Structures are given as structure tokens and as C-alpha cells.
Chains A and B, each alone.
Chain A
Amino acid sequence: MNDLIGSAVFCVLSLVIIGTALGVVMSRNLVHSALLMTACFIGVGIMYISLEADFLGAVEFMTYSGGVAVLIVMGVMLTHKGNGVPSNPFNGRELFAAALAVIFTAVMGLVLTFVQMPPDTGFVSADTVGDLADMMLNTYILPFEIAAVLLLAALLGAVILAKGDGEA
């Protein structure tokens, strides 16, 4: 019974994720692409929660379906000319791109049929926030600090790039 529910949840979530992702790349309207991308990220976040990674699900909702979606929509609005031309056209190489994507998926599927998967013995944490905090502030303190510096540099770089050197 539990297996059945898990399979149903996985099937519905994968349908949502793949469908919205296809909508993102196929839509002729950039605003529709941005909205479908938000829906796709919400599906991915729910999938994280179904994989026992509830903190990462919350992070996905906040950063991707919150922050990144707002940034992208702002980018769409500020760079849109609104002169009636389709805002999200293909560049004429979509046949090659589709062939490459299909070949990639086929190779990955072929590899997955050959690989012998180990029995399901993963680590399930009862307190993901506490465990992640312990790891992040003890063992992985150096990558944590480097990520902080990276975020600061990205913030400053984005401001300088968007405003220009002289005006900032």
C-alpha cells in the first residue's frame, strides 16, 4: 500500500516536472516560460520532500520558486520591447538540439539499464536542519565560508554590471 502511494506520488510529480519543463522550452511567450518554470521548481521541491530532504525542499521553494522566479520575471519585463514579435523564438538549430537531447536521454537510459544498483540503504535523517547545520559548521566550514565570499562577490558584481562602473 505504501509502495503504491509512493509510486503514484513519483509518477504525478514526474509528469508535472517533465510537462512544465517542456512548456518552458517550447513556449513562444517568455512570460509563460517564466511561470511554467516556477511550477517546475515547485514540483522539484515537492520531490525533494518526498525524498526525505524537507529542508532542501523549503530552500528550493524559497530560492528557486521565490527568488530566481522573481529575478527572471524582472529580467523579462525590463528587456521586453513589446513590438508584437514572439518574445521567445527558436534560433533555427532546434532540430540538432532536439536530436542531441534525445541521444543524451537514450544513452543515459542505456547506461542505467546496465548499472547494477545497490539495495536501498540510504541515510534518512529525522532532523535534517540540525544534521545539515552540524556538518556545515564543523566538517565543511571552509566551503561554507567560500560560499559566503562567492555570494558577496556575485552581489557586488551584479550591481556593478547592471548599473555600470561610473554610476555605481
Chain B
Amino acid sequence: MTIGLTHYLLLAAVLFAIGMFGVLSKRNIIAILMGIELMLNAVNINLIAFNRFLPVHDLSGQLMALFAIAVGVAEVAVGIALAFRIFYDRETINVDELNRMKG
């Protein structure tokens, strides 16, 4: 049996679901960022698999994945800086305790 687009899409869906589970079920901001990274990688696997298996004429899927990687890395840098700031200000990075705006 040959490996086709379906297999890659299924793998990416499972990876996205695992990342989503991490984002929804963790208390630590940095663990939530890790879940977001897993989801971003799942999306990139999709883009590259589309470029490899769908009838296209150039590398636009790979270029899109490249831009997604750049945006994802910038997001991680800002996210970690935010986590530092919150930790210095509040002495915690537990998102359940960050409820100052709670009505």
C-alpha cells in the first residue's frame, strides 16, 4: 500500500488534536505555548503534503509553510516575553490565577 495524501492529512489531524488537548488542559503558560507549536507544525505538514500530492505547478505550498514558520517563531518570541513579564509581575505563570479582569 502506498502512502498518499490521506495518510499525511490524518497524521496532521492527530498532531493538531494533541496540540489542542495541550492548549486546553494545561495550567502553565509555557506548556500552552508548546501545544500551540504542535498545532502550527501540524498545519505546516498539511501545506507541504498538499504541495507534494496535489496538481500544482510551483512550490507555493512550501513557500506558504515558510511564511507560517516565520510567523510562528515571531509568535513564540513574543509569547515567551509575555510569560517572563507575567512571572516578574505576579510571581506565577499559572493561567488559572491570572484572573485580575474577572468580574
Interface residues of A (CB under 8 A from B): 3, 6-7, 10, 14, 17-18, 21-22, 24-25, 30, 33-34, 37, 40-41, 44, 47-48, 51-53, 55-56, 59-60, 63-64, 67-68, 71-72, 74-76, 78-79, 87-91, 93-94, 96-98, 100-102, 104-105, 108-109, 112, 117-118, 120-125, 128, 131-132, 135-136, 140, 143, 147, 150-151, 154-155, 157-159, 161-162, 164
Give B73's nearest chain A residue, CB to CB: A63
**Docked CA distance A78–B71 (Å):** 24
Chain B residue nearest to A68 in the complex (CB): B76
Given contacts A52-B52, A112-B6, A132-B59, contact A25 B77 (CB under 8 A): no
Q: What would 10 A/B residue contacts be, using CB atoms closer than 8 Å?
A: A10-B3, A22-B18, A30-B28, A52-B52, A63-B69, A88-B27, A88-B31, A135-B58, A147-B71, A158-B78
Interface residues of B (CB under 8 A from A): 1-11, 13-22, 24-31, 33-35, 37-38, 41, 44-45, 48-49, 51-60, 62-63, 65-67, 69-71, 73-78, 80-85, 87, 93, 95-96
> How would you classify the secondary structure of chain A's contact residues: helix, strand, loop or mixed?
helix
Taken together as a complex, chains A and B put the C-alpha atoms of A58 and B65 apart, in Å, by 13
Which chain B positions have C-beta within 8 A of A87?
A: 28
Closest B residue, CB atoms, query A9: B3
**Nearest neighbor of B59 in chain A, beta-carbon distance:** A131
Q: Is the CB of A123 within 8 A of B58?
A: yes
| CB <8 Å contact, A71 and B77 | yes
Report the minimal beta-carbon distance from A77 to chain B, rounded to whole angstroms.
Answer: 10
Nearest chain B CB to A70 CB, angstrom units: 10
Partner of A162, one of B3, B58, B63, B84: B84
- Chain A nearest Cβ from B14, distance in angstroms: 6
Contact A120/B53 with A37-B37, A79-B30 known, Cβ cut-off 8 Å: yes
User: A97 contacts B24, CB within 8 Å?
Assistant: yes
B62 x A128 contact (CB < 8 A): yes
Contact B21 A53 (CB under 8 A): no
CB of B4 within 8 A of CB of A117, answer yes
Q: Return A65 CB to nearest CB of chain B, in Å.
A: 11
Question: Is A161 a contact partner of B67 (Cβ separation < 8 A)?
Answer: no
- Tell which of A52, A60, A122, A161 touches B69, judged by Cβ atoms closer than 8 Å: A60
Check B2 against A88 for contact (C-beta < 8 Å): no
Q: A48 contacts B71, CB within 8 Å?
A: no
Question: Which residues does chain A contribute within 8 Å of B33, judged by CB atoms?
Answer: 72, 75
